[in-house]
Chains A and B, each alone.
Chain A
Amino acid sequence: MEVILSTLINGLSLGGIYAMIALGYTMVYGIAKMLNFAHGDIIMVGGYVIFVVMATGNPLLAVAVAVIACVILGITIERVAYRPLRGASPLAVLITAIGVSYLLQSLAQIIFGSAPKMVTVYEFGSVQFLGATVQVASLVTMAVTVVVMAVLTLFVKYTRLGRAMIAVSEDRDAAQLMGINVNAIITITFAIGSSLAALAGLFYLMKAPNVSFTMGAMPGIKAFTAAVIGGIGSIPGAMLGGILLGVVESISYKITAIAPYTDAIEFSILIIILLVRPTGFLGKKRREKV
Chain B
Amino acid sequence: MALLEVNNLEVYYGVICALKGISFHVNEGEIVSLIGANGAGKTTMMQSTVGIIPKRGGQVLFDGQDITKTPCHKIVKLGMTQVPEGRRIFQELTVYENLMMGAYTMKDQQEFKTELDKIYDLFPRLAERRKQIAGTLSGGEQQMLAMSRALMSKPKLLMLDEPSMGLAPILVDQIFSIIKELHAAGTTILLVEQNASKALEISDRAYVLETGNITLSGTGAELMNSPEVQKAYLGG
Contacts and interface: CB of A to CB of B under 8 A. Distances in A.
B86 A289 contact: yes
B135 A167 contact: no
A176 B92 contact: no
A2 interface: no
10 contacts: A167-B90, A167-B101, A174-B84, A176-B71, A177-B72, A179-B104, A180-B73, A287-B135, A290-B86, A290-B166
A233 to B, nearest CB: 11
Interface residues of A, number: 20
Interface residues of B, number: 31
Interface centre among A160, A175, A178, A287 (most CB of B within 10 A): A178
Nearest to A289: B86
Contacts of A287: 91, 135
Contact of A180 (B47, B51, B93, B104): B104
Interface in A133-169: 160, 163-164, 166-167
A177 B103 CA distance: 11
Interface in B31-81: 47, 50-52, 71-74, 76-77, 81
Contact of A167 (B77, B82, B93, B150): B93
Contacts of A175: 101
B67 to A, nearest CB: 14
Contacts of A290: 86, 166
Nearest to B102: A178
A166 B86 contact: no
B97 interface: yes
B88 A178 contact: no
A119 to B, nearest CB: 42
Contact of A177 (B50, B92, B100, B166): B50
Chain A CB within 10 Å, residue with most, of B77, B84, B104, B153: B104
B215 interface: no
Contacts of B90: 166-167, 170-171, 174
A164 B101 CA distance: 7
B88 A171 contact: yes
B105 interface: yes
Contacts of A181: 71, 73
B29 to A, nearest CB: 23
Interface of A: 160, 163-164, 166-167, 170-171, 173-182, 287, 289-290
B91 A177 contact: no
| Shortest beta-carbon contacts, A-B, top 5 | A179-B76, A179-B105, A174-B88, A176-B72, A178-B104
Contacts of A182: 73
A175 B52 CA distance: 11
A160 B104 contact: yes
Contacts of B166: 290
A56 to B, nearest CB: 43
A287 B176 CA distance: 28
B184 to A, nearest CB: 24
A227 to B, nearest CB: 18
A170 B133 CA distance: 14
A163 B88 contact: no
B93 A177 contact: no
B149 interface: yes
Of the candidates B72, B77, B105, B149, the one having the most CB atoms from chain A within 10 angstroms of its own CB is B72
A173 B104 contact: no
A167 B94 CA distance: 12
Nearest to B152: A178
B72 to A, nearest CB: 4
